[in-house]
Each structure stands twice: as structure tokens, then as C-alpha cells.
Amino acid sequence: MLIPRNVPITVRLTLFFSLAMAIVLYSVSGLLYQTLRDQLNSKDVNELRSTLQFQKEIASTISERQGPQEQWQKELFEFIAEQDRLSLRIISPDGKVWSQSKNMRVPQSAYPAPTKDFNYQSWKHHDGELHEKYLITATTFPLKDKELWLVQAALNVSRNNEIIENYWARMQIAAALAILLFAACGYGLARRGLRPLRVISRQIETINVEELHTRLATERWPSELVVLASSFDSMLTRLEASFAQLTRFSSDLAHELRAPINNLISAASVTLNQPRSAADYQETLEAIVEEGERLSRTVSSMLFLARADNSREPLKKETLNSANEFRRLIGFYDILAEEKNITLIQTGDESFIADPLHFQRAISNLLSNALHYTPNGGEIILRAVREPHWLHFSVQDNGEGIEPEHLPHLFERFYRADPSRASTENTGLGLAIVKTIAELHGGKVAVTSTLGKGSTFTFSIPQ
């Protein structure tokens, strides 16, 4: 039974309940109808059979008496009493109709061949508005001198048939009324059963941005709706966290963009207030370029994160080697490390599949961060370690370490453990980009740190 999806659940349940009850009612009424029909038919057949057997015994007894043939034939016909329902036709051995009941309507040609077992069949008579049904059979009576007389019998079963048809018609009317009653009851029960769902819907309608802390699972719901309420609460929890993160992100983004824009405006305004020397103009232009580059890096990082969030950042995976990738990164940062007398060490030689540009960007961000917070004379180790299902790339330094309360937030956008140490080169998005690149590869990021001993950032991808 196909029902359009936009049909209310209450109507659906009512239709299914009504259909089930209709099947039950019509099955039961059909069974009762067939049982009554079989019983009445069996009663009629037994009546016809017993009547013919009785008449046969009477005929045999009378035919054995002494006397003229006409005498015992007359007595035979007198004993074969006419009935309202039973009609008889007696045919002599020479094929002539010796006698028949006045109410006999069945022609001789309609009768089957005579049998000893009184096998019967149905026959219907139509005469204008008169419709009658008969059970007919034919048999032979062996009378005096072993002569076989043909007896044709017809039992009118029209009245029983009318009783059965009236019963069926009334049963249909009763079943139809019962189905309507069941449909009304089913509709009421369905509405009552779905009342908690309507309550949940009304509560959901009241939830807005200020009400994201609302939870549905605190109420007592039917067991079928507990899972729905719990799932909805989980969604609200995620939405609340996402909204809080989005609010914080928007605020941080406005702050990050406002600072360089204000610096640009201030530098240009101060320069335009009065004539300056060529050196002053040169210095102002350098400051403007520096702030512009900071803005450009922030916008580029935001565009990358936005594309990744919307699954529009394509990956071009290749087979890479960790030793080669580490060597390339060390060659790029070697000069900066020498300036701070920091030793760069690489370990591990593992092959893996990843996007080379994204991988270099992620490890580069980790290495740049480590160089920034590692003191002079320190050491940074780039390590690749393979496990049964994961490949871990870690950047370990022996710098000042990070306080524990900052660790859960390090990979959030624009989060800085030490805002006072923010520089124009630091957009606050480097670690967020590392996390996004790991997730694009189906991986994860992690950090461990001990104050005064250093930190270890790990970039992991599945293998």
C-alpha cells in the first residue's frame, strides 16, 4: 500500500489500522459464510439422499406384494408423498413418465445419469423474477421382477440459498460499519499516541539562538522517543558549541583584520598630514606593505579553511617519503635555525600517500611554530613513526612548553596561548590549518607539552 510521504503520520496509522481490521473482519466473515454455506449444503444433500433411500425401501416393499401391477404402482405413488421442497419423477422401464410431482420444474434432459450413490449437482431455474436453485439427482429402483424404474429427484434449496445471501449482505454492512468505527477509534488512538511527538515539536519551535542550552531528554518520553530526544540534544550540543566557536571566531576575525587596517590608515594619515622626506615615505610604504602582507596571509588562510570546511579543497595524493620531505623542510628553515643556533634533526624513513603541498604546509607550520618558541641553542626533532594502522609525523622541541589549560584550545582558529607575543607574521591560524589538513587526509593532530622541557606536536594520517 503506497501512501504519499506528505500524508500525516496520524492518517497513515489510521489507514494501516483500518486496513488490518478490514482484512481480519472480512476474513472472519468469509470463513463464517463459507462454513454456514457448507453446513446448509451438507444438510440439503443428506436430506435428499435419505429421502430417496426411504422411498426406495418403500417401493421395494410394496412391489413385493401379490396383486395386479396397477395396484402396487398406485400404492407406490401414494406413499411417495409430495413435499414443498422435494419433487419426484418416476419413469418406467420402457422410458415413459409414469408419474411426477406437480412442482417438478427440472426437465429430464438436465438430470445426470442414474447412480447408486445418489450423486447430485446444482440446477438453477429462472422465470421472470422467480429465481430458484435445486439439487438434482437420478437413481434406479429395482422393483418387482427386477425391473429398474428410473427416479429423478429435485430438492428446492432456494430458501437456504436466500438465507445465506441475506446473511452475507448483512455481514458486509456490519463489517463496513465496524471498519468505520475502528477507523474513528484508530484515529483517536493514533493522535493520543503521537501526543508526545507534538509536545516535542512545540518545544523545538521555541528554541532559538538564546535557547540553545535547552534539552529535551530531561522529560519523561516513551521509549521510542527517548532516542529521538537524545539525538536532538546531541545536535543542540554541537550547535551550541559551533555557534559559540563561530561567535568567538567572528570576534577574533574582526579583531585580527581591524589591527592591520587601522595600522594602514594611521600610517597613511600621519604621512599625509605634512610633507615628509623620501626616507619617511619609504619607511611608511614599507610599513603599509608589511601590514598588507599580513592581511593577505590572513585572508588566504581563511579562504583555505573555508574551502576545507565546505569540502571544496581538492587533494592530489602522491607517494611520498618522510626522509625526503623532512630534508626539504630543513633546507628551507636551515638559515633561520642557524641564526638562533638551533639544531634540526630528522629521524624515520617511511613511504606514505598524501598531498605533497598540503603535507609540506602542515609540517612547515609546526616547524615554524617550534622555531619561534625554542630558545637559542635548542634542538628540534622531526620524527616519522609507523604503527599498524597509523603513520605519525611529530615535531618535538625543547623550548619553554605550554601550560596545560591551553592545550585543548591550541588548534582553534585565532587562539594564542600568549597573546602578548603575537607578531605580524603570526595570524593565529597556523595550527588550525594543520588540523584541517590532517582531517582532509582522514587523520588527526595531537599535542603534549611539559613546562620548561618543551612540546611535541603530532600529525597523524591513517595507512
Which of 249, 22, 50, 74 is closest to 135 using CA atoms?
Answer: 50
| Overall pTM > 0.85 | no
Mean pLDDT over 106-121 rounds to 82
166, pLDDT greater than 70: yes
**DSSP tag of 14:** H
pLDDT at 397: 93
List of residues 6+ apart from 461 with CB closer than 8 A = 352, 354, 390, 391, 393, 438, 441, 442, 443
441, pLDDT greater than 80: yes
pLDDT at 460: 94
Could you tell me which residues are beta bridge partners of residue 384? 393
Helix axes 278-309, 223-273, angle to 10 degrees: 170
List of residues 6+ apart from 204 with CB closer than 8 A = 216, 232
pLDDT at 2: 60
pLDDT at 205: 76
pLDDT grade for 79, boundaries at 50, 70 and 90? low
Mean pLDDT over 86-111 rounds to 82
pLDDT at 72: 53
Question: How many Cα atoms occupy the beta-carbon half-sphere of 265 within 13 Å?
Answer: 6
Q: Angle at CA 13, nearest 5°, toward 9 and 17?
A: 170
pLDDT at 424: 46
| Residue with the larger pLDDT of the pair 144 and 287 | 287
CB 366 within 8 A of CB 330: no
Mean pLDDT over 65-89 rounds to 61
What distance in Å separates the CA atoms of residue 232 and residue 96, rounded to the nearest whole number?
Answer: 94
Mean pLDDT over 72-94 rounds to 68
Which of 122, 443, 439, 149 is closest to 308 using CA atoms?
Answer: 439
- Give the range among 19-28, 125-134, 160-169, 206-215 with minimum mean pLDDT: 206-215
What distance in Å separates the CA atoms of residue 200 and residue 373, rounded to the nearest whole number?
Answer: 52
Both ends of the chain: CA-CA distance in Å? 48
Q: Which of 86-90, 306-310, 438-442 has the highest mean pLDDT?
A: 438-442
List of residues 6+ apart from 182 with CB closer than 8 A = 17, 18, 21
Q: How far is CA 36 from CA 31, 91, 164, 350, 386, in A?
A: 9, 35, 7, 86, 82
pLDDT at 68: 53
Could you tell me which residues are beta bridge partners of residue 99? 90
- Give the range among 150-159, 241-250, 408-417 with minimum mean pLDDT: 241-250
CB 322 within 8 A of CB 348: yes
For the stretch 180-209, pLDDT in tens is: 898 888 888 888 877 877 777 777 777 777
119, pLDDT greater than 60: yes
CB 413 within 8 A of CB 252: yes
pLDDT grade for 83, boundaries at 50, 70 and 90? low
Residue-by-residue DSSP string for 345-409 = EEE---EEEE-HHHHHHHHHHHHHHHHHHSPTT-EEEEEEEE-SSEEEEEEEE-SS---GGGGGG
Residue-by-residue DSSP string for 99-165 = EE-TT--S-GGGSPPP-TT--EEEEEEEETTEEEEEEEEEEEEE-GGG-EEEEEEEEE-HHHHHHHH
For the stretch 30-42, pLDDT in tens is: 898 888 888 888 8
Mean pLDDT over 434-453 rounds to 90
Task: Specify the long-range contacts of residues 317-321, CB closer than 8 Å, at least 24 apart.
Answer: 317/353, 317/354, 317/355, 318/353, 318/354, 318/355, 318/356, 319/351, 319/352, 319/353, 320/351, 320/352, 320/353, 320/354, 320/356, 320/359, 321/349, 321/350, 321/351, 321/352
**DSSP tag of 95:** S
Provide, for the chain, the percentages of residues in helix, strand and coil under a 3-state DSSP scheme, each rounded to the nearest 5: 55, 20, 25
pLDDT at 144: 63
> Does residue 324 sit in helix, strand or coil?
helix
For the stretch 360-383, pLDDT in tens is: 989 998 998 899 889 998 999 999
156, pLDDT greater than 60: yes
Which of 309, 303, 439, 426 is closest to 362 using CA atoms?
Answer: 439
For the stretch 302-347, pLDDT in tens is: 777 777 666 666 788 999 999 999 999 998 888 888 988 999 999 9
Residues above pLDDT 90, as percent of the chain = 15
pLDDT at 48: 81
State the CB neighbour count (10 A cutoff) for residue 459.
25
